Amino acid sequence: MTTKARREELIIYHTDAADKKVNARYALLEEEMKESSFILTSEHLNILEGRRADFLSGKSKPQPWQEVHARIRNKRKNAR
């Protein structure tokens, strides 16, 4: 299994995992995450939580990465 596939599996798993399991994994990784240069603001976290809620309720549907990537590339081309 590729690293990309493992990441996708983990995302799916953590979406439905029990709070106890998510909190345990968080505790294991917390120090490493603090050292990361990536900072998620509370505003971005709120956006992600809203999107997750929309997905879980069926309000939004997942999109294949290829489609998302193509859309981003087209926006960049048109912005030039």
Rounded distance, CA 14 to CA 35, Å? Answer: 22
pLDDT at 78 > cutoff 90: no
Backbone angles phi, psi at 40, to 5 degrees: -100, 115
What pLDDT, on the 0 to 100 scale, is given for residue 13? 85
The per-residue pLDDT of the chain, averaged, comes to: 87
pLDDT in tens, 25-64: 889 988 887 777 677 889 999 999 999 899 899 999 888 8
**Would the pTM count as exceeding 0.85?**
no
What pLDDT, on the 0 to 100 scale, is given for residue 58? 92
What pLDDT, on the 0 to 100 scale, is given for residue 57? 93
Q: What is the largest CA-CA distance in the chain?
A: 48
